[in-house]
């Protein structure tokens, strides 16, 4: 017989890794097409020129250049400008 009582779901939780969210490329850094700039929950940062949203609010570059963080109308905007 087992010496441990069965405790249902409490013993079945696994320790899951974090999702590695946050800013991946900072201001004035070079990016290539398709590189992730920000991983986020919801739209804390918004897309500017040269960037697009992924389906999970990830912002990525659609053209090569330099990352710029701006504030426009109270919104934080991420854009990619020519090098």
24-74 residue pLDDT tens: 999 999 999 999 999 999 999 999 999 999 999 999 999 999 999 999 999
Residue 23 pLDDT exceeds 90: yes
- What strand order describes the sheet that includes 22-23? 22-23, 36-39, 59-61, 51-53
**Structural domains of the chain sorted by starting position, each given as residue range(s) with its CATH number in brackets:** 23-81 (2.40.50.100)
Residue 5 pLDDT exceeds 80: no
Alpha-carbon distance values, 8 to 4, 12, 13, 14 (Å): 12, 7, 10, 14
Q: Enter the tokens of residue 81.
A: 């400008």
Quote the pLDDT of residue 39.
98
Quote the pLDDT of residue 83.
79
């Amino acid at each position: 017989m087992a010496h441990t009582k069965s405790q249902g779901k409490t013993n079945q939780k696994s320790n899951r890794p974090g999702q590695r969210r946050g800013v991946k490329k900072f201001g004035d850094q070079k990016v290539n097409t398709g590189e992730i700039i920000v991983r986020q929950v919801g739209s804390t940062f918004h897309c500017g020129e040269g960037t697009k949203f992924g389906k999970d609010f990830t912002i990525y570059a659609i053209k090569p250049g330099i990352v710029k963080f701006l504030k426009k109308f109270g919104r934080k905007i991420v854009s990619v400008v020519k090098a």
